[in-house]
Structure 1
Amino acid sequence: MLVSESVGQFFLDSEGHRDRLEYTEYGSGDSWVVLLHGQLMPRRMQQPLARALAAEGLHVVTLDLLGHGRSDRPADPQAYSVTAFAEQVLALLDHLGAPQAVIGGTSLGANVSLEVAAIAPERVRGLIVEMPVLDNAVEAGIIAFAPLLLAARFAPISVTALRLATRWVPRRAVGFWPSIVLDTLDQRPAPMGAVVHGLFFGRVAPPARERRTITAPAIVVGHPADPIHPFADAQMLAGELPNATFVEAGSILEWRYRPERLDRIATNFALSCWRAPRRARRASRSTS
């Protein structure tokens, strides 16, 4: 089934700065779903799932968070935190006129989805959380991303050279997921360093005591043998969230190259969230 697709943008004003964020809409209607990308990746990584969801009648939006994809990329580390990203998602919902949405994401996007549910539970219809980065991922995260921060700060020419080299590769010639990898490598040193710095030294996700208060229905997808996104984190999160279902992926590649099963699970879940009666709006943040 073909679905409509359109690109949009909106602007955020804060402390004398005006930042532009870009998004893509798939489908139409009032059953909103927002999908968020992984760290340093573009929103286009969620295109296959967005199309699958929209084909079933959901109105899906993929967003480039600040510092990613085609959104603005300020070089100030203070511009980047999981909380700031969550506020960008809420600004997107306001811009679209969407009172609520199912919020979902991968890796960084998973953590941002949890943060949205923590700071604005009344806006969240449900959660699709793939590969959250929580307590068991600290060491792996440092190993994976510290070299990027060091390269951006002390060897910026290496980041620039890689960016220039990857830009010569035709995206259509290499296939979808290799092209996403190439787009992820298309970084500028200062903004990339700022993103990693901001996330390293800021709040990574809601702490356990806050996660336990998130009552939105959720599916949590974990991958075995994934060192950066430990299986134990996904299992732990599914146990903490009062209304969560744990889904075990066959591998980190299943949702990339054999997505039918997980697409079906995500679609059925999102549709069920919108078929359920709307929860009463809560005026303030949940506390424990």
Structure 2
Amino acid sequence: MSGRQLVSERIGQFFIGEDRLEYTEYGGGEAWVVLLHGQLMPRRMQQPLARALAAEGLHVVTLDLLGHGRSDRPADPLVYSMSAFGEQVMALLDHLGVDEAVIGGTSLGANVSLEAFMHAPDRVRGLIVEMPVLDNALEAGLVVFGPMMLCARYLPFTVRALRAVTRPIPRGLVPFWAGIALDTFDQQPASMAAVLHGIVFGRIAPPSRARRAIDVPTLVVGHPKDPIHPAADAAMLAEEVPGARFVQAQSILEWRVRPERLDAITAEFARECWHDRLGHRRVGS
């Protein structure tokens, strides 16, 4: 990749009904990429990758899905589902006046990217899918997120106590990923329970038959030794999607602590999706 450059960053918001969603834009131009966060995490988790892609000439947007980060957090589980999250991505494109985008995400964001394609396949230029949660992860996901949902619903003081302890810590005084963890702990019991209820009891991902019909360039990244996001799910998705490229991370933490290799692969993939807009010129060349 070219050397890291300063890129413009702008915060924006839009509404779906009465609910407000917040996003950040990085860079500019017509080659759009939307990046989505993991479950209960803020959009800021995608900031390092967003900056790396923007430095390569891509116009990147990170979005806080409803119930996450700085977007509104309704306490109604009926407003949360993977398909509803996919519709929110398309509402973001409508708000920005964008016809097409490469859409990608991590964990929850990976599954939402698949749902966004199902919702409007003609508007998806390509998919970047890191750690999808499919058939092989369902049991582990229920074991992890089921108790969290029950605690938020029936022991809300535990969520409030964790928030009270972690919220006052200045994010600028801790390492980046420690700050992301602190932001993830900053939950409201009612909305947290609603988000988890809507996800756990809804459709986790499009079925295999639908995944086999995905006809856009797809980059799938899997992690070894990750029980909640087993590499087997990522490998299965890569086999299902015609022409998909599967990349295995060296560890669960590679993209977080040594991102250069995966950043470069992702930037090259996104640029190929937008080849007609970007051509062969590299930013900074």
TM-score category, normalised to shorter length: over 0.9
Question: For the residues of structure 2 that align with 1:243 and 1:69, how far apart are their CA atoms?
Answer: 34
- Deviation beyond 2 Å, 4+ runs, structure 1: none
The yes-or-no answer on 1:96 pairing with 2:96 is yes
Matched residue, 1:126? 126
Q: Secondary structure at the match of 1:128?
A: strand
Matched residue, 2:41? 41
Matched residue, 1:143? 143
Q: Secondary structure at the match of 1:39?
A: coil
CA RMSD of aligned residues (A): 0.8
Matched residue, 2:180? 180
What CA deviation, in whole Å up to 9, does each residue of 1:160-195 have, x standing for no partner?
A: 010010012121111100000000000000000000
The yes-or-no answer on 1:8 pairing with 2:5 is no
- What letter matches 1:27 in structure 2? G
- What letter matches 2:37 in structure 1? H
Question: For the residues of structure 2 that align with 1:75 and 1:4, how far apart are their CA atoms?
Answer: 34
Question: For the residues of structure 2 that align with 1:49 and 1:153, how far apart are their CA atoms?
Answer: 34
What CA deviation, in whole Å up to 9, does each residue of 1:189-217 have, x standing for no partner?
A: 00000000000111111100000000110
Matched residue, 1:67? 67
Matched residue, 2:282? none
Write out aligned runs for 1:101-250 (5 A). 101-250=101-250
Question: For the residues of structure 2 that align with 1:194 and 1:151, how far apart are their CA atoms?
Answer: 12
Question: For the residues of structure 2 that align with 1:168 and 1:121, how far apart are their CA atoms?
Answer: 43
Question: For the residues of structure 2 that align with 1:119 and 1:69, how far apart are their CA atoms?
Answer: 24
Deviation at 1:75, TM superposition (A): 0.2
What CA deviation, in whole Å up to 9, does each residue of 1:101-139 have, x standing for no partner?
A: 000000000000011112211000000000000000111
Question: For the residues of structure 2 that align with 1:157 and 1:175, how far apart are their CA atoms?
Answer: 28
Q: TM-score, normalised by structure 1?
A: 0.94
Question: For the residues of structure 2 that align with 1:168 and 1:32, how far apart are their CA atoms?
Answer: 35
Q: TM-score, normalised by structure 2?
A: 0.95
- What letter matches 1:198 in structure 2? G
Deviation at 1:147, TM superposition (A): 1.1
- What letter matches 1:120 in structure 2? A
- What letter matches 2:13 in structure 1? Q
Deviation at 1:276, TM superposition (A): 5.0
Matched residue, 1:280? none
Question: For the residues of structure 1 that align with 2:203 and 2:103, how far apart are their CA atoms?
Answer: 19
Matched residue, 2:283? none
Figure out how many residues of one structure are paired with residues of the other and give that number: 273
The yes-or-no answer on 1:253 pairing with 2:257 is no
- What letter matches 2:221 in structure 1? V
Question: For the residues of structure 1 that align with 2:34 and 2:150, how far apart are their CA atoms?
Answer: 32
Question: For the residues of structure 1 that align with 2:245 and 2:55, how far apart are their CA atoms?
Answer: 24
Question: For the residues of structure 2 that align with 1:159 and 1:7, how far apart are their CA atoms?
Answer: 28
Question: For the residues of structure 2 that align with 1:111 and 1:59, how far apart are their CA atoms?
Answer: 22
Question: For the residues of structure 2 that align with 1:108 and 1:136, how far apart are their CA atoms?
Answer: 15
Question: For the residues of structure 2 that align with 1:5 and 1:51, how far apart are their CA atoms?
Answer: 9
